[in-house]
Amino acid sequence: MWLLNIKDVVQKQKLTLEEFNSEDQGHKQDEVSFEDCQNEGQFPNKAGIEKVSNVCKKASEENFQYIWIDTCCINKNSSSELQEALNSMYRCRWMTRGWTLQELISPAYMDFYDMDWSFIAKREILAETIAEYTGIHITILRHERALSEFSIAQRMSWAANRHTTRVEDRAYSLFGIFDVHMSLLYGEGSNAFIRLQEELIKKSTDHSILAWDRDIELKDAQNGRTWQ
């Protein structure tokens, strides 16, 4: 797994945010990539510089030396590295993306900031609101229970209304949620989800995979009980 050293990022980023904002915005939608971080010299003029800079600033304030950002730390040109990254990490709009389900659940600690990088609250404080909006059980958000304590159907329901750019990622983004290891075959389309279901049936005796329903999960969560 690759990590970004905050000191290296600060030294590499010679453009200040003020200079960046006054520069040509032709690449405004671009993220800073793995290749950008590998190249010597300053980062290219991309909108993602601002995000990287602010993440470094916040991490430095918390005395962290390293940070992880998916676009910067995953070499997508290496199929083996991409596979490892997807299998090892728990993977507004952020709340509805497929990959962010893992990102929301996995970290032991999580802080939320607004678009101006002002602190909002810790995940534990917002857990009730997040649970209501996403359908994820509040005890998972507070790390009071393990994922394995929830049925396949319940975990599937958390991803039901999420979206991914590529069809295959609807399945691939759930590897960490189900502790599943599968090969990545971009181009297989909806067959990826079929393969995921087959893999779950092989490794589990939990037949709720055949009958999951998001409305049932939400109703049970409101009544303070879970089903398995």
Q: Where are the domains of the chain?
A: 4-73, 93-222
pLDDT average, residue stretch 113-128: 82
Model pTM score: 0.55
What is the average pLDDT score of the chain?
A: 76
Write out the two tokens for 63: 């005395």
Q: Residue 23's pLDDT is what?
A: 44
Query: C-alpha angle with apex 171: 167 to 172, nearest 5 degrees?
Result: 95
* pLDDT given for residue 16 in this prediction: 38
For 122-158, what is each residue's pLDDT tens digit? 888 888 888 888 889 999 999 999 999 999 999 999 9
Burial class (CB in 10 A: 0-12, 13-18, 19+), 26: exposed
Rounded Cα–Cα distance for residues 18 and 216 (Å): 50
Element (H, E) at 128: helix 123-134
CA distance 112 to 59: 13
Q: What is the pLDDT of residues 29-85, one digit of tens each?
A: 577 888 887 776 666 667 777 888 888 888 888 888 888 887 788 787 777 776 666
Instruction: Summarize the confidence of residues 9-35 as an average pLDDT.
Output: 54
- Give, in order, the Cα–Cα distances in Å from 138 to each of 63, 129, 146: 29, 9, 12
Q: How high is the pLDDT of residue 227?
A: 33
Q: How far is CA 9 from the centre of its chain?
A: 22
Q: Per DSSP, what are the bridge partners of residue 5? A: 66
pLDDT tens-digit readout, 184-198: 899 999 999 999 999
- Between residues 107 and 18, which one has the greater pLDDT? 107
Q: Higher-confidence residue: 18 or 71?
A: 71
| Nearest in space to 99 (alpha carbons), one of 57, 128, 71 | 71
Give the angle subtended at the CA of 131 by the CAs of 128 and 133, to the nearest 5°. Answer: 110
Q: What is the pLDDT of residue 95?
A: 52
User: Percent of the chain at pLDDT above 90?
Assistant: 16
Residues near 198 by beta carbon (within 8 Å), at least 6 away in sequence:
none
6 pLDDT more than 50? yes
How many other CB atoms are found less than 10 A from the CB of residue 121?
13
Torsion of CA 164, 169, 171, 177, to 10 degrees: -80
More confident call, 212 vs 142: 142
Quote the strand ranges of 1-151, DSSP E. 4-5, 66-67, 111-113, 119-122
Closest CA to 177 of 199, 201, 205, 158: 158
Do residues 227 and 216 make contact, with C-beta atoms less than 8 angstroms apart? yes
103, 106, 110, 114: CA torsion to nearest 10:
10
Q: Are 167 and 192 in contact (CB under 8 A)?
A: yes
Per-residue pLDDT band for 94 (boundaries 50, 70, 90) equals low
Percent of the chain beyond pLDDT 70? 73
